[in-house]
Amino acid sequence: MIVGLTYDLRNDYLKEGYTEEETAEFDAEVTIDAIDSTLKTLGFQTERIGNVKALINDLNKGKRWDLIFNICEGMHGIGREAQVPAILDAYQIPYVFSDPLVLALTLHKGHTKRIVRDFGIPTADFTVVQTLSDVEKVNLPYPLFAKPVAEGTGKGIDSKSIVDNPLKLVDTCERLLSRFNQPVLVETFLPGREFTVGIVGTGDKARVLGVMEIVVTEKAAEPIYSMLTKETWHGTVDYPMATGLDYELCADTALRAWRALDCRDGGRIDLKMDENGVPNFIEVNPLAGINPDHSDLPMLARKNGISYTQMFSMIMESALERVKIPAKI
């Protein structure tokens, strides 16, 4: 079985003139090497393809693969994460991870929260600010939390994201609207503890890999889990594993959200507790980072006794069963 690898290599985009911030979600060569070698360890033949443009070029040359391991985040447009799976669907080439609908939907944090809320899953009250004039219509109690509606890796999140009065909200929204050229999600600030839940599998067969708490210490440059904090996590952020009631509550909420959104094969759900200790849905990561050393999903799996190779085996088992490809290589 030949498994093609689709991904966005950060250095490729940096060479084209994109900034460090614009490419923050993209992968380093070491991550692609780890994915490639792990799939080979599991018995698959692999072929590196690259980003969406490289995929299109290869398809135009007549190339095909038995399965695609897709982690492309995309660069442009609100549907950028859905571009590769949409193309693969058109060519009837099966792939690992979620489909175009899920990836287009979940990149928009506001639309995702609406669906999660309709399923009765706790999530902070929110509104989406499309233009600066919308700020005066915000009718939520302070403090609030503001971030771009369609970014990942903590982009657009910093110490100014927590706002406690209307003037600061105007300033923060004006800055984010201009900087990211997209709407701003404004939601009630959740004061409780923060967790991330790793999940593998699809539908009723989805299961929790582990629940990891994210504790930003006083050593961090910012008191929240911002892009800067994520980049300088070593020695400034603690990642204890949740147990007992914390685990049960977070695992249940995350699985409900994963299934409600029809996510597939593997990823993460981020949660934050409210003032009553109830886990609230923050966002879903259906294309979660999988750097073997510092990405949250492999980290929480490892802390729970699941190796990188074992995690990949679970993801591939889910994908192969879902697309009806025999697991025997």
pLDDT in tens, 173-197: 999 999 999 999 999 999 999 999 9
pLDDT in tens, 99-108: 999 999 999 9
209 & 146 share domain: no
pLDDT band of 327, cuts 50, 70, 90: low
Structural domain of 154: 125-188
pLDDT in tens, 270-285: 999 999 999 999 999 9
Mean of per-residue pLDDT scores for the chain? 94
pLDDT at residue 228, as a whole number:
76
* Total domains, the chain: 3
Residue 244, pLDDT > 80, answer yes
Residue 201, pLDDT > 50, answer yes
Asked which of 134, 159, 188 is the last residue of a domain, the reply is 188
**CA–CA separation, 129 and 144 (whole Å):** 13
| 252 Cβ neighbours under 8 A, 6+ residues apart | none
Domain CATH number, residue 183: 3.30.1490.20
**CA–CA separation, 208 and 197 (whole Å):** 7
210 & 315 share domain: yes
Contacts by 179-184, CB closer than 8 A, 24 or more apart: 180/148, 180/151, 180/155, 180/156, 182/78, 182/148, 182/149, 182/150, 182/151, 183/110, 183/128, 183/129, 183/130, 183/148, 183/149, 183/150, 184/128, 184/129, 184/146, 184/147, 184/148, 184/149
Domain CATH number, residue 245: 3.30.470.20
Ramachandran angles phi, psi of 298, nearest 5°: -65, -35
81 & 144 share domain: no
199 & 249 share domain: yes
pLDDT at residue 94, as a whole number:
97
**CA–CA separation, 284 and 268 (whole Å):** 6
200 & 318 share domain: yes
pLDDT at residue 199, as a whole number:
98
What 3-state class would DSSP assign to 267?
strand
244 & 278 share domain: yes
Nearest 5 degrees, angle CA 60-CA 64-CA 67? Answer: 135
Task: Say if 328 falls within a structural domain.
Answer: no
Task: Say if residue 190 is exposed, middle or buried (CB neighbours under 10 Å; 0-12, 13-18, 19+).
Answer: buried
Ramachandran angles phi, psi of 213, nearest 5°: -85, 145
213 & 175 share domain: no
Task: Say if 85 falls within a structural domain.
Answer: yes
pLDDT at residue 329, as a whole number:
41
pLDDT at residue 326, as a whole number:
63
166 & 264 share domain: no
Task: Say if 107 falls within a structural domain.
Answer: no
Asked which of 188, 221, 236 is the last residue of a domain, the reply is 188
Of the candidates 86, 73, 79, the one whose C-alpha atom is nearest the C-alpha of residue 9 is 73
Task: Say if 11 falls within a structural domain.
Answer: yes
Task: Say if 118 falls within a structural domain.
Answer: no
Higher-scoring residue by pLDDT: 187, 158? 187
Task: Say if 172 falls within a structural domain.
Answer: yes
**CA–CA separation, 166 and 169 (whole Å):** 5
**CA–CA separation, 297 and 236 (whole Å):** 19
Asked which of 96, 115, 135 is the last residue of a domain, the reply is 96
**CA–CA separation, 208 and 258 (whole Å):** 10
Could you give the C-alpha distances from 141 to 32, 162, 189, 232, 257, in angstroms and in order? Answer: 44, 12, 9, 32, 25
Tokens of 246: 């914390």
pLDDT at residue 48, as a whole number:
98
Kindly give the residue spans of alpha helices, DSSP state H, lying in the chain.
10-15, 29-41, 52-60, 83-90, 100-107, 109-118, 166-180, 227-231, 244-260, 296-303, 308-322
Asked if residue 315 lies in contact with residue 141, where contact means CB atoms within 8 angstroms, the answer is no
Task: Say if 20 falls within a structural domain.
Answer: yes
Task: Say if 102 falls within a structural domain.
Answer: no
**Could you tell me the sign of the dihedral formed by the alpha carbons of 78, 265, 93, 30, in that order?**
positive
Average pLDDT of 217-224? 80
131 & 204 share domain: no
Domain CATH number, residue 50: 3.40.50.20
Whole-prediction pTM value?
A: 0.93
Residue 291, pLDDT > 80, answer yes
pLDDT in tens, 5-58: 999 999 999 999 999 888 988 999 999 999 999 999 999 999 999 999 999 999
198 & 311 share domain: yes
**CA–CA separation, 281 and 320 (whole Å):** 29
63 & 152 share domain: no
175 & 149 share domain: yes
